[in-house]
Structures are given as structure tokens and as C-alpha cells.
Amino acid sequence: FDEDGEMVHYSPYNGKVLPGYMFTDNGFWDTFRAVFPFFTVMYPELNADIMKGLVNTYKESGWLPEWASPGHRDCMVGSNSASIIANTYLSGIRGYDIETLYEAILKNSENQHPNLSSVGRLGVDYYNEKGYIPCDVGVNESIARTLEYSYADYTIWKLAKALDKPKEHIKRFRKRAQFYRNVFDESTDFMRGKKESGKWQSPFVPEKWGGVFTEGSAWHYTWSVFQDPQGLMNLMGGKESFTEKLDSVFSTPPKYDASYYGFPIHEIIEMTVVDMGQYAHGNQPIQHMIYLYNYAGQPWKAQKWIREVMDRLYQPTPDGLCGDEDNGQTSAWYVFSALGFYPVCPGSGEFVIGSPIFEEAEMKLENGNTFTVEAEDNCKDNIYIETARLNGKPYSKTYLNYEDIQNGGRVSFDMSDKPNKDWGDDPSDAPYSMSKELE
């Protein structure tokens, strides 16, 4: 923070100043979902340089990094290097060897590292053949891995289409992007551990952290379907049951089962201290969940809870950050949310609208254009969007396209202290879901 209290972090990258973003030199890919889209929007040149670094890493080690610290570190789960690469290319950023990166992505999708669990895909043979990683085959955090791989495969599907790759590739990853369905238990409306036999793991305790999940519980990972909230909504029985489930995250007491770890890890303690039910903003797996109200035609609830999180969990004090920074993700969530939108699904080209905190914010883009977010009558009480306009025209979509921002212009919100339950409630106003594209 500067002496006026403004949040400004100084980047070592060519001496540039990145407002509101803490630049780190370690690659925590598992928590990239807001960090790298920030680069994509504001600093495409930097994003292209990062892609060159991934090319070099693959050429030197034979693998894409999932956690570079500075070499391959055996830590965390997921296969999000694919997501970063796909989102960069689909955003129109060039100047690196995409063919080598695609080759590396394919290798990752079919192999696991002989020694490190976080390089390649641990449990990949089970995932590719059965459509999920069983909980009883010696692979920890099996459901977290299944969900992360499925989202990564969605971005590979999009990239393969953009690169005009063989139809077999496109068909393969389109199918795998729907594997999240295989670990959803309709009898409980939660993601749940599944045995190799196809039977559900028992007993089932939604509040149990760890085990088949990574630093979280079923309350958090059930929402890890970034690519297809509509598909998840359909599995839950439609909009009403979907929004009731979202509501229950905040209304369910913050109980927990820490038996997997033997003690309550700090992420658990942070959830209980925050006292927002089962919502654990101090850890990344659930940070996108509030924005899912937009997909169910209730964006006003997203606006309410986004402001609640920003007001309560981010303060300019020594204890003002509500959990792990994790190389920028928790700060990047705030920066995007303060501007008024957030990248729920990198690779889709959309940013889901929330509730901006500034009367006016100006983004000076690397291409020379300027995109302005204006929120008339904005204040602590006026947290709800009454109406919106994009470049002067009435706007009811609950998302912004990447091109809208890069082309420059202005999005204007009229703010109110009462929710407008009609704005953005039409199904055509909802953000992207893979199920809709397949239809």
C-alpha cells in the first residue's frame, strides 16, 4: 500500500507497476484461475513470455510444470498448465511455439511422471479408461484430481478446435471434459469418492476435509465444474435446487472433520474464524462459487456475497488477508471483484459480472485502448446492479466478453441499495456453460 492507502504492488517485470497484483516468480499453477487471466487482459506481452518459459521447461525437462519452485516440485494436484496455455492462445496472444506446447499438453494428458505425483497426471490410466479416479486404488485426492483434469480437458478441447487438430483429439477431450459427471452423487447433491467397482465411498461426511479432496471438503469441490455450471445445475435438478444448494453453503454451520490430517489445518481454522458457514474463501477451490448465482438467474445474490467478502475479508491491516495468498490468486480475486467481474472459466473468453466497488475504474490496456467501469451512485450500501449499459446500449448479460474489454469502451452500472431481481435473470443472459455449446 502506498502512503495514501492505495493498493499498489511493484513488479520486477521490466519495472512495470501492476496495480493491485502481487507478482511472484514461483509458478503455482493450481491457483492460476484469476492470476493469469489478469496478465491476459492487462499484459499480453508478459503472458507470451510466460508461454516461452513453459516451452523451455518442457524442452529441458520433458514435462510441463504444475508447480515450479523453481524446478518441478512434488506438490498439489491438477493439470492446469494446459488451462494457462489454452487460455492464452484462445485470447489471441501469439509469439511463442504453440505446437511444442500442444505436444507437451498431449503428453501430460496420457502420462504420469515416474517419480513426482504433481507432474503429468497421477492416476491418468484410471481417469482415461474409467472416466474418474477411484478412491481405493492408492491415489490420494482422487476426486480433486478428476475434477481438475476434466476442466483442463475442456480447455484442451477448445485449443484443439482452434488449432484444427485431428477430429479424434477433439472428440477425446470433449468427452473427458464431461467426466465430472462421473463423481457427482445425485442422492446427496455432492461430489463424492467412488470406488473402482463403481460403488460410492462410505460413510459419506460432506464436512470431511482431505481424503478424496485437496485442502477442502465436498462443500467446496462440488462447485469445481468451471466449464459447465449449467451441466452441474441439471444434475442438481434445475435452477431452484442449484441456488438452494448455493445458499446452503453460507447457512450450514462451519463444522469440519479433520481426521484425514489428524488436526485442523490452517485452512480449516480460517473457515471457522471467518464464520460464513461452509464458505472457505481463505483457500482457492471455492473462490469462484459466489459467481455461480449468475448462471442460475440470481446475479443479485452474487452481488450481495461478493461485497460481503470484499468488505469483511480484505483489510489494510497486518492480518487483513483471509488466508493463503498462493502466488497472487487471493489478491487477484479481489482486484477482479473490485473492478466488477471475474474469470470463472478461463478458456471461455468471458468474465462474470459481480459488484464493482469504485465509482469509476479505468483500465489502460497494452494495445493502447482504455476500458472503463463506471458505477453511478456506488457506495457501501448501494451494492446491487439496477441497470447496466455497454458502450451506451442497455446491457442485461451477466458477463463481459474478453473482446469487449480489449476493444476498449465503457460498461456502466446504475447501483442501488435494493436488489433488482429482474436484471440478468433470463437464461440467455447467463454466462458460458459447455452444455449449452454442445446443445
pLDDT along the chain (439 residues), means of 10: 51 38 34 73 92 96 89 87 96 98 98 92 98 97 97 98 98 98 98 98 98 97 98 98 98 98 96 96 93 98 98 90 84 95 97 97 96 96 98 98 97 98 98 96
Virtual CA dihedral for 123, 127, 132, 138, nearest 10 degrees?
-20
pLDDT of residue 88: 97
Query: Quick one: CA torsion of 113, 116, 119, 123, rounded to 10 degrees?
Result: 70
DSSP lists the bridge partners of residue 363 as 371
Q: Whose CA is closest to 87, among 101, 75, 73?
A: 101
Question: Tens of pLDDT along 5-62?
Answer: 554 543 333 344 333 333 333 333 344 567 778 888 899 999 999 999 999 999 999 9
Q: Report the distance separating Cα 58 and Cα 152, nearest Å.
A: 18
Q: What are phi and psi of 72, to 5 degrees?
A: -70, 125
Local structure of residue 136 (DSSP, 8 states): T
CA distance linking residue 290 with residue 288, whole number of Å: 6
**Cα(351)–Cα(233) distance, integer angstroms:** 19
* Residue 397 near residue 375 (C-beta atoms within 8 A): no
- What is the dihedral sign for C-alpha 164, 168, 172, 175? positive
Q: What is the Cα–Cα distance from 260 to 147, expressed in whole angstroms?
A: 20
What is the pLDDT at residue 328? 83
Candidates 67, 3, 69; CA nearest to 32 is 67
How far is Cα 384 from Cα 422, in angstroms, rounded to an integer?
Answer: 12
203 prior amide bond cis, ω within 30: yes
> What is the pLDDT at residue 30?
45
Is 289-439 CATH 3.20.20.30?
no
Cell of 324: 493463503
> In this structure, are strands 350-353 and 341-342 parallel, antiparallel, or unpaired?
antiparallel
Counting beta carbons within 10 angstroms of the beta carbon of residue 349, is it exposed (0 to 12), middle (13 to 18) or buried (19 or more)?
buried
Q: What is the pTM of this model?
A: 0.92
**What pLDDT is recorded for position 26?**
32
Helix (H) or strand (E) segment spanning residue 44 = helix 44-61
C-alpha distance from residue 174 to each of 73, 168, 180, 207, 225 (Å): 30, 10, 12, 32, 14
Alpha helices in 91-217 (DSSP H): 98-110, 124-130, 142-162, 167-176
